[in-house]
Each structure stands twice: as structure tokens, then as C-alpha cells.
């Protein structure tokens, strides 16, 4: 790759005395030795996606470093000062286990305090959902968490929350970006910390958060009867180690087994290829431990403890991984069943799922006469729906296929600490009925239909990768398929143009959702295919969901195989190339 003149000029600015010596050395090295990496580091400025600011750590405008974090924070401070008048502005800050997370959190605290903003900074790493809770508890106007979730170790990120405790949505996201982009010189960033404005928050606040989580428990007496369920838990080197074992013990569970090697906080994630609980390899050590200990249940949280992966025993007594749709379906079924038993359903309750999450959740909600809202991908849209319905309707739960789940309204982001508590409670509830998690899932399939989903992610890195993904989306829009697996396409939802095309009636209908680069094909037999570029990773994602009636448990293997064949046929027809 030849070094573009504009990229070189942009890089040379970072050789000035406004940048520290180490940064200048890194940039000079790239100029002299690595034009490809130089281009990747400077061809654009990091932007907020569905998860906020996220990128590889290093020197450059397209990298996570002191200066990009400082500019993002100064932009946020400028926006807050324009929006909030006649009261002290307050912001909470948390961070995870990643390399430089503590450093970036302190940079953010320094810039905010230098701008006269009160900061509540956690004394050590904490789960992302606790930050969401802190924003609401301290009546903050905003919040920041330094995390790159489950991305590889080279990454870090910066997520911004608004006063409701949810991640920023329109118009705040675009307005903050406008403020950040308006900073043309690093001298405009005030790094001079005012320590009087910074309040350190510690264990006493953990207790407040955990007490709230305990209040969500619906079956304390059943937990008491089955408190010896053997649970293997791993934080995958992340923040869950602080609070997940605590919440399980507070609820009464007594048999929690750790994976000691993975209890160690380490941003290099030495025991896993990827700290992503969606990846089967991430749970290997936990599964080995569970087999050795003859455990009943395995849970693994990602580095910032907002998502959880689950493994349970199947009919052959082997551990199998549940996907995010299955976990969300089981938890939703449990919650709605208990709410109904306790007489808590009055007609104004609702659940929320994302448009790429299984329609099994909406089928479960129908049975209980509970409303189900579909929102765009990203838990911030679930939080936005909770805010929109506050005071008029009662939120029970929200889930997404990517292993995120939430119950209760006091946190406004996916919460793996809460989810682990609820998963363990549901396991106890199932055991009280003489059932396993697997039995519960099969019962759900028998009643509501056998829904099966598959996610295909294609990674396309760097500038050329972005362009390739854009071209793929363009082609699917210009030449959409007419059928998928021999079933005609009846609706095409294009969330970028906010239009649904009713193919049979040749009608264009408006989609009342924010614009997003997502395409959905709905077939006559109810199959749903969604295609979208990731907002946080260099990937394009294909979600395929198909379902069939399951008349008997004896038909499970046969129907499962038929659905697998159907889903693979659809992937082939879409010409997904690895």
C-alpha cells in the first residue's frame, strides 16, 4: 500500500511537541517502516458505532490512545455543558480488565474534572452493567465505561451512557460526535485534572447494586431447597470475578466452583484464543472443570460482564452450549411463568427483543398476553424502549441473540451479573420440577415451535475490508433473492431506507425505527434472514432463523437435521463466501 499524501500529512501532525515522546516515536516508526499500518492508523478518525468508540490500541487518529480518548471526552464535556444548565454536571466512569483500561478511565476523569464536571470513578475494574446502575443511582447526566467487550486483546473501547443509564442514542450520539469532530487541535483538550471534582467509588456501592439484583429473585424458597446445585463459573479473566460469585452466594447457592486460572484479571487473556462466551473454545476450561467436578451448570461471562455463555447437560449427560436465543427464551419463559403465578400480569407488561433475535421470544410472550417490542440491534435500543414506556408500562425482560439479557428496570444495559443469578435460579426451578435446562428448552419447543438460528460472521479487516462489506450490502439491495430454500420472499425490510417492500402486493411501507444498515428477508414460511455490518467489529453478519412444528420429543433429531439442511441451503443461496 502506498502512503497517501493526506495520511502522511495527518501523521506528521502527531510528530509535534503537543504529543508525548512515546507517541512521536511510534508514529515516526510507522512513517519510516510500515506504510500499511500507518494508513490503518490514520486513514480515518474513530467513530461511535452501536457500542461507542472502539479500536485497536496504538498511536494514530484511528487508534485508541490518550489523545483519541481525550478528544472524545472533551467533546462529551462540551456537549454536556451546552445541554445542562444551572446544575452541577455529574458523570460516572468504570473500566474493565483490558490493557490500558485503567489509564484511559483516568484520562477521561482528568478531562471531565478539568472541565468542572463531577466524576464518580470506580476504584478498580467493574462490570459494565454496574456503571449503568451507577449513572441512575448518582443521578448522573452521563456515564463512561472503558471496555472493548469480547474483542481481541489488541482492542479497547469507550462507551458513553446518558442520564437514563442506557447507551447514547439519537440525537445525543450524533451531537457528541459533532462536538468531537469540532476539536481540530489537541490543545483544545483540557487534561489538567481537578482532583477535588473526583469521587472514588468502591465496595460500598457494590453492596447497593447487589441488593437490587437480589430483589429480582422470584423463587427464594426453591433456591433454598436446591442450593447445592454445582455451578462452574468463569469470568474469562474479566470483571465478573468481583460480583458474580457474590450474587450467587447472596441468593443462597453454596456450591460455586471457580476456574482459578481464569479468575486472574489479565488483558492479554492468556488461557483463551478469544474472551468471547459465544465461542465454544472460550468455555473449554470451564467444561473440563465441570466434568471433573460432576457439575450441573456452567456459566462464563465476557470481560466487562454484560454477556454470559451457558453450558448444560443434554439427554446423554454431555455438556452442550446454549446459544443466546435459547438462553433468552428459557429465561423469558421462566420470568413470565413466575409473574403469572404471582398475579403480577395486569395487561401492561412487556418484553423487548432485537430484530435479529429469535421470534420464539415473541411467541412465548403471546401465550402470556405480554406485549413484545422489536428494536434495532444493540442493547441501547432496548434501554430506549424502557425509557419510552416508563410510567405507562412495566418492563419484564429484554434479550438479544448475542448473549445479552436484562430483567428489571434499574439497569439499562445487558447485565451478565443479573443473568447469572437468574440462570442459576431457573436451574433450581427446573430441578424442583424434576427437569434439567435441556428439558425446559424441549418443553418450550413442543409448545411454541422448534426455532433454530445460525449466525455467520465474515471478518474483513482494515480500509479494504470496510469497502468490501459496503459493496456486499449494496449488491444485496440491488439484486435481492426472490426465494430462499424454495420459499418465496414476501417482505424485504431495509432499515437504511426505513422502507418495507411488500413483494406480493408491490407496496412500500414505512419502518418506524431509526435508520440502520440492516437488510431483512422474510419468506412465506416464516424464515427470517438478516444481514448487517457489525457496529463494533470489522465484520458482516448473516442471521438465519427457521422453524418447524415439533409434535414429539422423538422427532427432535429429525427436525433439527431438517432445519440445519434448510439453513445451510439458504447460506449457499446467499453466496456467503468465507
Which pLDDT score, from 0 to 100, does residue 463 have? Answer: 80
Q: Give mean pLDDT, residues 165-180.
A: 89
Same structural domain for residues 125 and 191?
yes
Residue pLDDT, tens place only, 377-399: 989 999 999 999 999 999 999 99
Domain containing residue 118: CATH number: 3.40.120.10
Asked, as a colleague might, if the bond just before 171 is cis with ω within 30 of 0, I would say yes
Same structural domain for residues 398 and 266?
yes
From 413, 448, 483, the end of a domain falls on 448
Mean pLDDT of the chain: 95
Residue pLDDT, tens place only, 529-568: 999 998 767 899 999 999 999 999 999 999 999 999 999 9
Considering Cα of 493, then 563, then 556, then 226, what sign does the dihedral take? negative
Same structural domain for residues 505 and 549?
yes
Is 241 a domain residue? yes
Q: Give mean pLDDT, residues 125-143.
A: 98
Rg of the chain taking only CA atoms, in angstroms:
24
Contacts of 490 by beta carbon, 8 Å cutoff, 6+ apart = 502, 503, 504, 522, 523, 524
Same structural domain for residues 260 and 393?
yes
Is 24 a domain residue? yes
- Residue 242 C-alpha from the chain's centroid: 20
Same structural domain for residues 57 and 94?
yes
Question: Quick check: 526 pLDDT over 90?
Answer: yes
Is 219 a domain residue? no
Rounded-to-integer distance, Cα 213 and Cα 199, Å: 24
Catalytic residue among 113, 132, 149, 402: 149
Q: Give mean pLDDT, residues 157-166.
A: 96
Q: In Å, what is the CA distance from 31 to each residue of 11, 19, 37, 184, 464?
A: 8, 16, 9, 22, 20
Same structural domain for residues 112 and 240?
no
Same structural domain for residues 69 and 108?
yes
Same structural domain for residues 17 and 60?
no
Residue pLDDT, tens place only, 241-252: 989 999 999 999
Is 339 a domain residue? yes
From 448, 463, 487, the end of a domain falls on 448
Q: Convert 87-145 into a string of H (helix), E (strand) and C (coil).
A: CCCEEEEEECCCCCHHHHHHHHHHHHHHCCCEEEEECCCCCHHHHHHHHHHCCCCEEEE
Write the DSSP string, 380-448: HHHHHHHHHHTTTSEEEEEEETTTEEEESSS--S--HHHHHHHHHHHHHHHHHTT--HHHHHHHHHHHH
Rounded-to-integer distance, Cα 77 and Cα 91, Å: 10
Rounded-to-integer distance, Cα 143 and Cα 120, Å: 9
Residue pLDDT, tens place only, 395-443: 999 999 999 999 999 999 999 999 999 999 999 999 999 999 999 999 9
Domain membership of residue 3 as a residue range = 1-43
Same structural domain for residues 322 and 413?
yes
* Cell (9 digits) for 563: 432445519
Same structural domain for residues 462 and 562?
yes
- Give the global pTM: 0.94
List the one residue out of 172, 154, 134 whose CA is nearest residue 52: 172
Residue pLDDT, tens place only, 199-239: 999 999 999 999 999 999 999 999 999 999 999 999 999 99
Rounded-to-integer distance, Cα 515 and Cα 411, Å: 25
State how many domains the chain has.
Answer: 4
Q: Give mean pLDDT, residues 135-154.
A: 95
Reported as a pLDDT band with limits 50, 70 and 90, residue 1 is: very low
Q: Are 99 and 157 in contact (CB under 8 A)?
A: no
CA angle 182–195–177, rounded 5-degree value: 20
Among this protein's residues, is 274 annotated catalytic? no
Rounded-to-integer distance, Cα 17 and Cα 207, Å: 46
Reported as a pLDDT band with limits 50, 70 and 90, residue 178 is: confident
**Nearest 10 degrees: CA dihedral of 449, 571, 513, 394?**
30
Is 155 a domain residue? yes
Which pLDDT score, from 0 to 100, does residue 578 have? Answer: 66
Contacts of 570 by beta carbon, 8 Å cutoff, 6+ apart = 484, 485, 527, 529, 544, 546
Domain containing residue 493: CATH number: 3.30.310
Is 198 a domain residue? yes
Same structural domain for residues 51 and 13?
no
Residue pLDDT, tens place only, 41-55: 999 887 765 456 889
Which pLDDT score, from 0 to 100, does residue 299 have? Answer: 98
From 386, 415, 448, the end of a domain falls on 448
Residue pLDDT, tens place only, 483-516: 999 999 999 999 999 999 999 999 999 999 999 9
Is 578 a domain residue? no
Is 425 a domain residue? yes
Same structural domain for residues 192 and 233?
no
Amino acid at each position: 500500500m502506498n502512503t497517501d499524501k493526506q495520511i502522511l500529512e495527518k501523521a506528521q501532525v502527531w510528530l509535534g511537541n503537543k504529543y508525548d515522546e512515546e507517541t512521536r516515536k511510534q508514529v515516526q516508526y510507522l512513517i519510516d517502516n510500515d506504510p500499511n499500518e500507518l494508513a490503518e492508523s490514520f486513514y480515518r478518525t474513530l467513530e461511535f458505532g452501536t457500542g461507542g468508540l472502539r479500536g485497536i490500541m496504538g498511536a494514530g487518529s484511528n487508534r485508541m490512545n490518550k489523545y483519541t480518548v481525550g478528544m472524545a471526552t472533551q467533546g462529551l464535556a462540551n456537549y454536556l455543558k451546552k445541554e445542562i444548565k444551572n446544575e452541577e454536571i455529574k458523570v460516572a466512569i468504570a473500566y474493565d480488565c483490558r490493557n490500558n483500561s485503567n489509564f484511559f478511565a483516568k484520562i477521561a476523569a482528568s478531562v471531565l474534572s478539568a472541565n468542572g464536571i463531577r466524576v464518580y470513578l470506580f476504584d478498580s475494574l467493574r462490570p459494565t452493567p454496574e456503571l449503568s446502575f451507577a449513572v441512575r443511582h448518582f443521578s448522573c447526566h452521563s456515564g463512561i465505561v472503558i471496555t472493548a467487550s469480547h474483542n481481541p486483546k489488541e482492542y479497547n473501547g469507550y462507551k458513553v451512557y446518558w442520564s437514563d443509564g442506557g447507551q447514547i442514542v439519537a440525537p445525543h450520539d450524533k451531537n457528541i460526535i459533532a462536538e468531537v469532530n469540532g476539536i481540530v487541535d489537541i490543545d483544545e483538550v483540557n487534561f489538567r485534572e481537578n482532583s477535588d471534582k473526583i469521587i472514588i467509588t468502591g465496595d460500598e456501592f457494590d453492596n447497593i447494586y447487589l441488593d437490587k439484583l437480589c430483589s429480582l429473585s422470584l423463587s427464594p424458597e426453591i433456591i433454598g431447597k436446591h442450593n447445592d446445585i454445582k455451578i462452574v463459573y468463569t469470568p474469562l479473566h474479566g470483571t465478573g470475578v468481583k460480583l458474580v460469585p457474590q450474587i450467587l452466594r447472596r441468593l443462597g447457592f453454596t456450591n460455586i466452583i471457580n476456574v482459578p486460572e481464569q479468575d486472574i484479571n489479565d488483558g492479554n487473556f492468556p488461557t483463551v484464543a478469544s474472551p468471547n462466551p459465544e465461542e465454544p473454545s472460550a468455555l473449554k476450561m470451564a467444561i473440563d472443570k465441570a466434568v471433573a467436578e460432576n457439575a450441573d451448570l456452567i456459566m462464563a461471562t465476557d470481560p466487562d460482564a454484560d454477556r454470559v455463555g451457558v453450558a448444560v447437560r443434554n439427554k446423554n449427560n454431555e455438556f452442550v452450549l446454549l446459544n443466546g436465543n435459547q438462553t433468552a427464551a428459557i429465561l423469558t419463559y421462566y420470568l413470565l411463568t413466575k409473574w403469572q403465578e404471582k398475579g403480577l400480569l395486569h395487561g401492561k407488561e412487556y418484553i423487548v427483543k432485537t430484530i435479529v433475535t429469535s421470534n420464539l421470544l415473541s411467541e412465548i410472550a403471546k401465550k402470556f398476553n405480554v406485549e413484545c417490542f422489536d428494536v434495532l440491534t444493540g442493547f441501547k435500543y432496548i434501554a430506549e424502549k424502557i425509557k419510552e414506556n416508563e410510567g405507562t408500562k412495566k418492563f419484564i425482560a429484554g434479550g438479544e441473540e448475542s448473549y445479552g439479557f436484562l430483567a428489571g428496570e434499574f439497569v439499562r444495559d445487558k447485565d451478565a451479573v443479573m443473568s447469572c443469578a437468574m440462570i442459576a435460579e431457573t436451574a433450581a426451578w427446573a430441578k424442583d420440577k424434576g427437569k434439567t435446562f435441556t428439558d425446559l428448552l424441549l418443553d418450550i419447543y413442543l409448545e411454541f415451535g422448534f426455532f433454530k438460528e445460525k449466525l455467520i460472521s465474515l471478518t474483513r479487516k482494515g480500509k479494504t475490508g470496510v469497502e468490501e462489506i459496503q459493496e456486499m450490502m449494496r449488491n444485496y439491495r440491488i439484486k435481492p433473492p426472490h426465494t430462499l430454500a424454495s420459499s418465496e420472499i414476501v417482505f424485504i425490510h431495509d432499515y437504511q431506507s426505513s422502507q418495507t417492500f411488500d413483494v406480493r402486493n408491490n407496496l412500500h411501507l414505512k419502518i418506524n425505527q431509526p435508520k440502520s444498515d440492516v437488510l431483512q428477508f422474510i419468506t412465506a414460511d416464516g424464515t427470517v434472514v438478516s444481514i448487517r455490518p457489525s457496529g463494533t467489529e470489522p465484520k458482516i453478519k448473516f442471521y438465519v432463523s427457521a422453524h418447524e412444528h415439533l409434535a414429539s420429543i422423538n422427532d427432535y433429531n429429525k427436525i433439527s437435521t431438517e432445519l440445519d439442511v434448510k439453513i445451510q441451503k439458504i447460506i449457499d443461496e446467499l453466496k456467503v463466501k468465507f
